[in-house]
Chain A
């Protein structure tokens, strides 16, 4: 046995609503070639159609506050040697 390494990638979207509440939406396996335009297009659609609303008051979607690509590396140590 030996130590095991793994890497996972995710896209964290911080959504802001008109009551200024925020919440995060995490998507696994983001594309390698993501560009700000992709996020802008989603932002525009969500503003126009208000499909995602706030948690506590059902507030209207405001904007995608930040979009962050997250790389997470893990090492699982083999402790059975």
Chain B
């Protein structure tokens, strides 16, 4: 059997208390990138936030002499939110897509934080299911009012369906 390795995720909750999650038996052959992505995906299911000093560690627990530690810092001090957009309006001629955020009574993203946000838009090709990620900051958005409309350009060679939009607000 492979050596016992654990993955420790450290984040902070909305009260700035440390939240620690330990996962036993991560794959010792996993790369740092794979582990970091796993950590980020798990964190994205929660309202917890990594702060800039948090690290994700894997430690070989087998024996003291065989003990190794891999440490890496989670990439960004940021909060990520899932899509709360409604509706898409594809502009075929312009190869652009418009998302309109209409908000709700309990918005995931406070409007006053939206103006500092960056967006990762992942869209999926209807032809071959390839995923295309567009990264943009919404410099066009300056006022915290609804609805908020964002437009971005996609490659001309494919047609796409919207898959997800993620807000990332850097702390």
Contacts and interface: CB of A to CB of B under 8 A. Distances in A.
Nearest to A26: B21
Contacts of A38: 44-45, 82
Nearest to A25: B23
A31 B82 contact: yes
Nearest to B49: A29
Interface size class, chain B: 20 to 34
Interface size class, chain A: 20 to 34
A51 B2 CA distance: 13
Contacts of A78: none
B63 interface: no
B82 A45 contact: no
Interface of B: 1-2, 7, 13-14, 19, 21, 23-27, 30, 34-35, 37-38, 41-42, 44-48, 82, 84, 106, 108, 164
Interface of A: 11, 23, 25-35, 37-39, 41-42, 45-46, 49-58
